[in-house]
Chain A
Amino acid sequence: MPIDKDLVAALATPLVLAILVEGPSYGYAIVKRVRELSDGELEWSDGMLYPLLHRLEKSGHVRAEWGASDTGRKRRNYHITESGRAELADQRRQWDTANRTLGGLWGMTVATGEA
């Protein structure tokens, strides 16, 4: 089932930050990780990830540097910063609330994590 594009846009920031919490990563790997996590149900244009990453860099949530892959190909690696972690925690609180609210209506048991 494809997910509504506004919802994808809202999801994108916490999703990318949460992936970067697992460790530094780069564009293509992030896209692959998203596909893997959502079983391919979360479809977005891969190209849209980069403006998002650049926005996060500009606001200081991530740090970027050029590196190289094992095969020597140029690659831009992204690391999460302290402010990125704070932003993620904040986003997580918001998503928890959203989950709880909808879950209450739909009678689901939603796992709420400690933010």
Chain B
Amino acid sequence: MSVLDTRIAEWRTAILRGGAVTPEDADELEAHLREQSDDLVATGLSDEEAFLVAVRRLGEVNRITAEFAREHSDRLWKQLVVARDDTARGGSVPLMLGFAIGAAVVIQIARLAADVPYRMPGWFLLNLGLFVLPLLAAYFAFERRVRPRVALVLGGVTLALALAVNLFPFTANAQTLTLTALHLPVLLWFVVGVAYVAGEVRSSARRMDFIRFTGEWAIYYALIALGGAVLLGLTTLVLSPIAPGAIEQVWLWVLPSGAAGAVIVAAWLVESKKSIIENLAPVLTMIFTPLFALMLVGAVVSYIAVGIRGEFNRDLLAGFDVLLLVVLGLVVYGISARQPGRASRFSDVVRLVAVVAALVLDVIVLAQLIARVGDFGFTPNRIVALGLNLVLLVNLVVTAVLQLRMLAARGTAFDLERWQTRYLTVFAVWAAAVVLVLPPLYGFS
């Protein structure tokens, strides 16, 4: 092996460390190095000298890998190699634990003040998201060392939301109160998102990171909840012969604290493992997209063949909102795992089938509902169910078109990604409208 080969092999090892640069990229960079070295040797330099100059021109290894990491942030999400020297990525454990315990304390104070579960006052449900999610946003703000201006905006928005929903004079059992309680956590999740991307809200790549984070977080949270349920179940079993009276107290103290603390812990887990194992959302997507596509096509065929029987109500529309949301999730996480250049045409087709079938199904249901809307009238619940349906419908129609263009090789996965990241704004505006505009519009009833 010549001096040049040895040096290049060393350099290659260094550039591949961390996982941001793939072996294929390294091939490309190596070809550059070799050609540059050859040219320099031709001018009279020795191998060693030529290599040093060529490497210097290429730039520092750290800066190159950092630039690749920025450009291909998706790669860090599916690395099998652990970059042990980069401990900062997951964030420090004490900081995470501090925030998790903080969330648990806040929820317990609120629970004691509200006397839950013996009574269930409206303000407790309304503020449920506010007890935990601002702490998650604060955790990311600390972790990412966001600029003071961003931190100020985040704090201000959270405070304004908290004041607004608590000053709204909701009447007893108001539909709008339930709707606000449901949508406020969604809105707060976007506040978390701004902290997550450290204020870089315009960057499509950072927005995509946040979408990935959301999917992974939900999976981690469900796993922790599952483990927590087993723990509580077994604790109950163990306690029942000796201290049956203590069981209720254990549940009251452990369940809310665990549920609140797990929000922070799950977020920390997603961040610290994102470079360790393949992420889960794309794997689940791969399994379920074909199954959903089959189910949806079957549903469309039978809806058309049999016709719709039975009563249509709001619950059904809410159910279809969930259906569209799931299909959207399948598309987004499927796309996020798609590797440029080596995508499978099959899964693109399956995704398109699923989206189109869901759209047809939704249009059938919407047509039925709108035809009868005269009998129902526009209550807040119906407005929200219908509005969300339209928001999702628009997204999926454009998604279907972009997916079709992609299959016809007239568009790229990047267009679809950009459409989804841009559409996040629409979702945020929609949640804000339900939380802030709808209640006054309906006189808080």
Q: Is A45 touching B31 in the complex (CB atoms < 8 A)?
A: no
B395 within 8 A of A: no
Partner of A27, one of B28, B60, B63, B341: B28
Q: Is A55 touching B31 in the complex (CB atoms < 8 A)?
A: no
Closest Cβ neighbor of B28 among chain A residues? A76
Closest Cβ neighbor of B68 among chain A residues? A51
How far is the CB of B103 from the nearest CB of chain A, in Å?
38
The residues of B that contact A73 with a CB separation of less than 8 Å are 31, 34-35
Partner of B71, one of A27, A28, A31, A55: A55
A54 within 8 A of B: yes
A95 within 8 A of B: no
What is the 8 Å Cβ interface bit string for chain B, positions 11-53, against chain A (1 contact, 0 not)? 0000000000000010111011011100000000000000000
The residues of A that contact B414 with a CB separation of less than 8 Å are 58-60
A40 CA / B31 CA spacing, docked (Å)? 22
Closest Cβ neighbor of B415 among chain A residues? A60
A36 within 8 A of B: no
B59 within 8 A of A: yes
Given contacts A59-B412, A60-B412, A60-B415, contact A48 B35 (CB under 8 A): no
Closest Cβ neighbor of A43 among chain B residues? B57
How far is the CB of A68 from the nearest CB of chain B, in Å?
10
B67 within 8 A of A: yes
B64 within 8 A of A: yes
The residues of B that contact A26 with a CB separation of less than 8 Å are 31
What is the 8 Å Cβ interface bit string for chain A, positions 33-63, against chain B (1 contact, 0 not)? 0000000000001111011001101111000
Partner of A51, one of B31, B34, B36, B67: B67
Partner of A45, one of B57, B412, B415: B57
Closest Cβ neighbor of A52 among chain B residues? B71
The residues of B that contact A69 with a CB separation of less than 8 Å are 35
B340 within 8 A of A: yes
Q: Is B71 touching A51 in the complex (CB atoms < 8 A)?
A: yes
How far is the CB of B404 from the nearest CB of chain A, in Å?
16
Q: Is A74 touching B27 in the complex (CB atoms < 8 A)?
A: yes
A51 CA / B25 CA spacing, docked (Å)? 9
A75 within 8 A of B: yes
Q: Is B340 touching A50 in the complex (CB atoms < 8 A)?
A: no
Q: Is B32 touching A46 in the complex (CB atoms < 8 A)?
A: yes
B411 within 8 A of A: yes
How far is the CB of B276 from the nearest CB of chain A, in Å?
24
What is the 8 Å Cβ interface bit string for chain B, positions 415-430, against chain A (1 contact, 0 not)? 1000000000000000
Given contacts A54-B71, A60-B411, contact A48 B31 (CB under 8 A): no
B159 within 8 A of A: no
B223 within 8 A of A: no
Instruction: Give how many A residues have a beta carbon under 8 Å from the other chain's beta carbons.
Output: 22
What is the 8 Å Cβ interface bit string for chain A, positions 11-44, against chain B (1 contact, 0 not)? 0000000000000001110010000000000000
- Best-surrounded residue of A31, A51, A59, A74 (most CB of chain B within 10 A): A51
How far is the CB of B85 from the nearest CB of chain A, in Å?
20
Q: Is B67 touching A48 in the complex (CB atoms < 8 A)?
A: yes
How far is the CB of B414 from the nearest CB of chain A, in Å?
5
B295 within 8 A of A: no
Q: Is B25 touching A50 in the complex (CB atoms < 8 A)?
A: yes
What is the 8 Å Cβ interface bit string for chain A, positions 51-92, against chain B (1 contact, 0 not)? 100110111100010000100011110000000000000000
The residues of A that contact B411 with a CB separation of less than 8 Å are 60
A33 CA / B431 CA spacing, docked (Å)? 51
Given contacts A58-B414, A59-B414, A73-B34, contact A47 B64 (CB under 8 A): yes
A69 CA / B412 CA spacing, docked (Å)? 29
What is the 8 Å Cβ interface bit string for chain B, positions 66-104, against chain A (1 contact, 0 not)? 011011100000000000000000000000000000000
A54 CA / B60 CA spacing, docked (Å)? 19
Q: Is A28 touching B35 in the complex (CB atoms < 8 A)?
A: yes
Closest Cβ neighbor of A35 among chain B residues? B57
The residues of A that contact B63 with a CB separation of less than 8 Å are 45, 47-48
The residues of B that contact A46 with a CB separation of less than 8 Å are 32, 36, 57-59
Given contacts A27-B28, A59-B414, contact A54 B72 (CB under 8 A): yes
Partner of A28, one of B31, B59, B340, B341: B31
The residues of B that contact A55 with a CB separation of less than 8 Å are 71
A58 CA / B415 CA spacing, docked (Å)? 9
The residues of B that contact A27 with a CB separation of less than 8 Å are 28, 31-32
The residues of A that contact B25 with a CB separation of less than 8 Å are 50, 54
A98 CA / B64 CA spacing, docked (Å)? 30
How far is the CB of B8 from the nearest CB of chain A, in Å?
13
Q: Is B340 touching A57 in the complex (CB atoms < 8 A)?
A: yes
A26 CA / B71 CA spacing, docked (Å)? 19
Given contacts A54-B72, A60-B412, contact A76 B31 (CB under 8 A): yes
The 5 closest A-B pairs by CB, nearest first: A45-B59, A47-B59, A47-B64, A51-B71, A60-B412
20 contacts between A and B (CB under 8 A): A27-B28, A27-B31, A27-B32, A28-B31, A28-B35, A45-B63, A47-B67, A50-B68, A51-B67, A51-B72, A54-B68, A54-B72, A58-B340, A58-B412, A60-B412, A60-B414, A64-B341, A74-B27, A74-B31, A76-B31
For the complex with contacts A47-B64, A51-B71, 4 further pairs of A-B residues with Cβ separation under 8 Å are A46-B32, A46-B59, A48-B64, A73-B31
